[in-house]
Amino acid sequence: MQHFRRKFAMPVEVIEINELNKDQLRERVNTAQRYQAWREARDQRAGFRGSLVWHYSGSSEYLLRSYYDGSGVRRQKTEGPRSPETERLKAQWDAQREAATEREKSLQTVLDRQTAINRALLLGRVPLLGARIIRALDAAGLLGHGIRIVGTNAVYAYEAAAGVMVDASVTTTEDMDLLVDARRALRLAASADIAGGALISLLRKIDRSFERTRQNFRAANRDGYLVDLITPQAEPPWRAGEVRIGTAEDELTAIPINGLAWLESAPAFEAVAIDERGAPLRIVAADPRVFAAHKLWLSAQPDRDPLKRRRDAAQAAAVGRIVGRYLTHLPYVADDLRMLPRPVFEAARQLFELDGP
C-alpha cells in the first residue's frame, strides 16, 4: 500500500450535523419498525410464489406444485394423488397464502401513511434514483450478499442510524459506487426476470437509458447519473481476474482499486434510510469507522483529484463525528478494526475524538 508514511490531510471545514427533533425521531423509529414488519410480510408472501393445483394425468388426479428454485427457474413436482391428506394440504396452503397476501397489503397501507408523514416532517434524504437502485439490488438478493453501498450514499446509512442529518455539501451526489466482493460468486436471485442475470440489465429495468460507458466498470443514464462497479485490488495485482455479475455482452466489469480491501473486510453496517419522497429503504454499507479511516486516507493521496480529496476529508470528518458522538457502541479500538493497516488506523484516530459538547 502506498503513501502510508505521508502526513494525512486533515479536514479543516466544520461540517454541520443537525440532530432530528422529537417528532422526527419518533417517526424515524416508527418507519424502521413498520418497514421491518412489511419486509417480513413480503417475504412470507413470497414463500407462496407459484401454485398448488389439481392436475389430471391419465385417469388419476394429482396435486401439482409449481415453484421457482434459487436461480429463478420454474419447477414442478407432484405432492401425490388426490386424497384426504392432499386435500388438507391444498386447503391449508390456500388459506396461508391468502392470509400472507392480506397481511402484506395491510402493512403496505400502513407504510404508505408513514411515507406521507415522513414527507411532511422533511425526513427524506436518499435521492430517488439512488434509492430505486438500492431497492432493486436488495430485491435481487445482492445487497449485503456480495455488494455493499460505498462512497457518498453510505453516509445516508450512518446518519439514519444516528438520528441526524449531515450538511448537504457532504451528501449531495449524482453517482453510486457499488463494492463487489471478489471473493464471492454473485448471481441475481431475480435472474429469470433480468436478461443475462446482469447488473446492467437490472439498471435498465429502473431506467431504460442506462448504458455501459467506454469505461466498462461504469454505467450512465441520459441525465449523467453514474453507477460504478468497483472491487479491491488483488494482491499481487497480476492475480486479478474479471469480476462480473451477469453474462450479458455489455455487462459491467468491476474495476480493481487500491484500499477497498479494508471496506470489503469490514463488518457490515445496516440501517433503514428514507428517500426524498419519504419511503424507507435498507442500506448495507461498511462499518462507519472503516469508512471514515478510508476516506481520510484517500484525502491524502497525491494522485487523487484535489476536489475529491477535499470532499473525502469532509466526509471522513462528518462520519467520524457521527460515530464518536452518536454511535458510541462502536468504539475506535484496534481489536475491532484489524483490517486497517496500523498507520491508517492511527492517523484516523483523531476523527473520533470529540473536542466539544
**Omega into 267 within 30° of 0, i.e. cis?**
no
**Going residue by residue through the chain (357 aa), what tens digit of pLDDT does each one get?**
344 444 555 544 668 899 999 999 999 999 999 999 999 999 988 888 778 888 888 788 988 888 776 556 678 888 889 999 998 999 988 998 899 999 999 999 999 999 999 999 999 999 999 999 999 999 988 999 999 999 999 999 999 999 999 999 899 889 999 999 877 656 555 554 566 568 999 999 999 999 999 999 999 999 999 999 999 987 766 565 678 787 788 899 999 999 999 999 999 999 999 999 999 999 999 999 999 999 999 999 999 999 999 999 999 999 999 999 999 999 999 999 999 999 999 999 999 987 644
Question: CA torsion, points 164, 167, 169, 175, in degrees to nearest 10?
Answer: 20
Helix (H) or strand (E) holding 197: none
- Beta strands 226-232 and 60-68 are unpaired
User: Could you tell me if 152 and 171 are in contact, meaning their C-beta atoms sit under 8 angstroms apart?
Assistant: yes
User: What pLDDT is attached to residue 8?
Assistant: 53
CA-nearest of 74, 65, 68 to 94 is 65
- Look up residue 250 and give its three cell numbers: 455489455
216 dihedral zone (left: phi>0; alpha: psi -120 to 50; beta) = alpha
- Beta strands 226-232 and 147-150 are unpaired
The whole-angstrom separation of Cα 64 and Cα 62 is: 6
- Look up residue 219 and give its three cell numbers: 454505467
CB count within 10 Å of CB 354 equals: 9
User: Could you tell me if 207 and 129 are in contact, meaning their C-beta atoms sit under 8 angstroms apart?
Assistant: yes
Q: Quickly tell me which residue has 412470507 as its cell.
A: 44
CA-nearest of 168, 120, 10, 140 to 72 is 140
For residue 317, CA distances in Å to 111, 144, 154, 172, 308 come to 34, 25, 14, 16, 14
CB count within 10 Å of CB 105 equals: 11
- What does the DSSP assignment read for 295-332? HHHHHT-TTS-HHHHHHHHHHHHHHHHHHHHT-TTS--
User: Could you tell me if 201 and 248 are in contact, meaning their C-beta atoms sit under 8 angstroms apart?
Assistant: yes
User: What pLDDT is attached to residue 72?
Assistant: 61
The whole-angstrom separation of Cα 114 and Cα 111 is: 5
User: Could you tell me if 150 and 3 are in contact, meaning their C-beta atoms sit under 8 angstroms apart?
Assistant: no
pTM of the model: 0.87
The whole-angstrom separation of Cα 25 and Cα 225 is: 31
User: Could you tell me if 184 and 146 are in contact, meaning their C-beta atoms sit under 8 angstroms apart?
Assistant: yes
